[in-house]
Amino acid sequence: GSLQNLLEQKSLKWIFVGGKGGVGKTTTSCSLAVALAKVRKSVLIISTDPAHNLSDAFKQKIGKTSTKLNGFENLYAMEIDPKLDIDVSGMDLSVGENKVSTDMLSSIPGIDEAMSFAELMKQVQQMDYEVIVFDTAPTGHTLRLLTFPK
């Protein structure tokens, strides 16, 4: 297909841009989001890459909450923080009669990807955008993120 075909696909809600490191995922994601903003009511671009580059690409500070991009009325961006940031308030962190420390919790293999995915899904489900473009991490990170929910 072509870019025009992609722009005309009104049924597309989520678009994932993926690949190996250094192939131009962020450039492609940003270009696609800008093009979509010309034909869609509201567009969000989300970076799931630990090496966040959206702030550099759009020359403005972008954080873990949706930020309206300068020069656009309907284009927003956010960078999901890959660092472990677990809100443990109200959680039962015990195994049997033993309490589990947050240090121990953060050492569980794959926990970063699991928490990033949980945060991503929580935020995305609460959003009202016509289309969301995902600027993903390099392939290995993204495959772990996408296979987590099994």
The burial of 33, by beta-carbon neighbours within 10 Å (0-12 exposed, 13-18 middle, 19 or more buried), is given as buried
Q: Provide CB contacts within 8 A for 87, sequence distance 6+.
A: none
CA 128 to chain centre: 15
Active site residues: 49
Strand-pair partners of 133: 15, 45
